[in-house]
């Protein structure tokens, strides 16, 4: 009996050290060695400070910036500490209300734009933290941003095209645009408009 107990305790101890200590340290070390940026959260730096992560959406809402997908996190949008399932089912009345609210906001910000609104601009992603929008969603906003910045629509379309990402490994997902990186490039090339959200590393 004592030998069985001792064997069980030793087994648990060895497995704990292997799977709970050695393996995580090895994986973390290899990630830091071969993919240092991704291992540290894919942080984006400007002026020596972290302004966000390429993996997390931010809440851009002024007309002079491109807007990302809707977010249902609380108490504020794109809250990474409270990410949860935020995509509503098609039979949920709250989905229609959210879509109508976002549609009204988009139309009010650019009333002369009669183009169909891309679906990803009026729906939230599952996590509520999606940092990307479709190229169509970015192009839809070019008119509004160009007017707010005093820039040409052609120049902003070229900027969007320069920040388009292809499918992962050429086969997974769809072409997309990282909203934060696009807005950072926008601020560098065409200064103006309201300041972007605070960096995620700031208090």
> What is the C-alpha separation between 198 and 195, in angstroms, rounded?
9
With 0-12 CB in 10 A as exposed, 13-18 as middle and 19+ as buried, what is 54? middle
Mean model confidence pLDDT for the chain: 82
To 10 degrees, the CA torsion angle through 107, 173, 60, 123?
50
Does the pLDDT of residue 201 top 60, yes or no?
no
What are the boundaries of each domain within the chain?
Answer: 1-40, 42-189
Does the pLDDT of residue 75 top 50, yes or no?
yes
Q: What is the mean pLDDT of residues 42-70?
A: 80
CB atoms within 10 A of CB 148: 18
Position 140 scores a pLDDT of 97
- Work out the pLDDT band at 31, boundaries 50, 70, 90: low
pTM: 0.74
- Work out the pLDDT band at 183, boundaries 50, 70, 90: very high
CB atoms within 10 A of CB 146: 18
Does the pLDDT of residue 149 top 80, yes or no?
yes
> What is the C-alpha separation between 154 and 146, in angstroms, rounded?
9
Whether the CB-CB separation of 120 and 140 falls below 8 Å is answered with: no
Q: Give the pLDDT confidence of 77-113 residue by residue, as tens digits.
A: 777 777 766 667 788 898 889 889 999 999 999 999 9
Position 198 scores a pLDDT of 44
């Amino acid at each position: 009996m004592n030998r069985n107990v001792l064997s069980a305790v030793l087994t648990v101890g060895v497995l704990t050290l292997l799977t709970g200590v050695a393996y995580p340290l090895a994986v973390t070390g290899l990630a830091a060695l071969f993919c240092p940026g991704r291992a540290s959260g894919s942080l984006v730096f400007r002026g020596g400070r972290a302004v966000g992560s390429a993996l997390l959406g931010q809440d851009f809402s002024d007309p002079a910036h491109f807007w990302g997908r809707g977010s249902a996190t609380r108490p504020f949008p794109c809250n990474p500490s409270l990410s949860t399932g935020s995509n509503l089912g098609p039979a949920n009345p709250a989905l229609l209300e959210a879509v109508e609210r976002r549609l009204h906001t988009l139309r009010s910000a650019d009333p002369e734009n009669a183009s169909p609104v891309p679906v990803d601009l009026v729906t939230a992603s599952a996590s509520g933290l999606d940092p990307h929008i479709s190229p169509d969603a970015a192009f839809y906003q070019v008119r509004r941003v160009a007017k707010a910045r005093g820039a040409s629509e052609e120049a902003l379309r070229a900027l969007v095209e320069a920040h388009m990402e292809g499918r992962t490994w050429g086969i997974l997902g769809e072409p997309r645009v990282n909203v934060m990186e696009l807005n950072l490039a926008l601020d560098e090339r065409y200064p103006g408009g309201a300041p972007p959200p605070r960096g995620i590393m700031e208090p």
